[in-house]
């Protein structure tokens, strides 16, 4: 079972991953966006880490809800509301139980991804974070490693796509040939979840 501490470690592991990969995310965003995705997420996840230390939420749902709120208020552009919605909706779906199972998390994450699709109006294949998140949410029922692999595959599969949503869509065909920064950071978030689970022997 996964408790609040597990979810706190997921978020701090994600924050560390964003610190490590910020330059790569910004480089991807400079190719088809406005070169701020790494620095934006860095600011957001630093705020998440600080808030989790200060407030120490006691349930999995409360951890994700707090993290989502921080991302909405500190990450600019479209990414903040989208990532914030993902975590808040997932957190809300987990309710206020002290521990959740992997299947419950899979179902909640799927609700979070649905919330992102609704907010951004993006569908699979539009070259967005959905291309990593949706396969990951679907694969999570088969395990954390499967979710990680599905997210990474989904992110890599955005390279040949033409963007149909977000700033990259303004580039039209010139968006082809670049991996989507949002799908890439989404895969980092899922990899952080798998890392946290593996460290726990889940
Ligand atoms: Mg950007």
Whole-angstrom Cα distance, residue 56 to residue 44?
A: 17
Percent pLDDT > 70 in the chain is 100
Distance 134 CA to ligand 1 centre (A): 21
> 192, 17 in Cβ contact below 8 A?
yes
Distance 29 CA to ligand 1 centre (A): 6
Distance 77 CA to ligand 1 centre (A): 7
DSSP codes joined into one string, 101-124: -HHHHHHHHHHHHHHHHHHHT--T
Question: pLDDT tens, 139-190?
Answer: 999 999 999 999 999 999 999 999 999 889 989 999 999 999 999 999 999 9
Whole-angstrom Cα distance, residue 31 to residue 151?
A: 21
Question: pLDDT tens, 18-49?
Answer: 999 999 999 999 999 989 999 999 999 999 99
pLDDT at 202: 77
Backbone angles phi, psi at 132, to 5 degrees: -95, -40
Distance 34 CA to ligand 1 centre (A): 4
- Given pLDDT bands bounded at 50, 70 and 90, which one contains residue 100? very high
Distance 170 CA to ligand 1 centre (A): 13
Distance 166 CA to ligand 1 centre (A): 9
pLDDT at 176: 94
pLDDT at 77: 82
> Closest by alpha carbon to 63, among 1, 114, 6?
6
- Burial (CB count within 10 angstroms: exposed 0-12, middle 13-18, buried 19+), residue 107: middle
pTM, 2 dp: 0.97
pLDDT at 139: 97
Distances in Å between the alpha carbon of 173 and those of 13, 57, 68?
35, 45, 33
pLDDT at 201: 83
pLDDT at 59: 98
Distance 26 CA to ligand 1 centre (A): 8
Whole-angstrom Cα distance, residue 171 to residue 175?
A: 6
Distance 41 CA to ligand 1 centre (A): 10
pLDDT at 127: 97
For the chain, give the number of residues: 202
């Amino acid at each position: 079972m996964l408790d609040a501490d597990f979810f706190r470690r997921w978020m701090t592991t994600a924050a560390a991953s964003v610190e490590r990969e910020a330059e790569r995310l910004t480089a991807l965003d400079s190719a088809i966006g406005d070169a701020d995705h790494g620095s934006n997420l860095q600011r957001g996840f630093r705020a998440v880490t600080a808030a989790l230390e200060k407030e120490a939420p006691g349930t999995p749902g409360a951890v994700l809800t707090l993290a989502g709120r921080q991302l909405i208020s500190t990450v600019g552009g479209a990414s903040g509301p989208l990532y914030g919605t993902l975590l808040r909706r997932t957190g809300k779906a987990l309710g206020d139980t002290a521990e959740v199972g992997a299947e419950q998390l899979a179902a909640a994450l799927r609700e979070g991804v649905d919330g992102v699709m609704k907010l951004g109006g993006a569908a699979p294949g539009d070259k967005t974070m959905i291309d990593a998140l949706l396969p990951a949410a679907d694969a999570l029922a088969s395990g954390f490693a499967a979710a990680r692999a599905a997210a990474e595959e989904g992110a890599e599969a955005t390279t040949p796509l033409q963007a149909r949503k977000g700033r990259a869509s303004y580039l039209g065909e010139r968006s082809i040939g670049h991996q989507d920064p949002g799908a890439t950071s989404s895969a980092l978030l899922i990899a952080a979840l798998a890392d946290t689970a593996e460290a726990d022997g889940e």
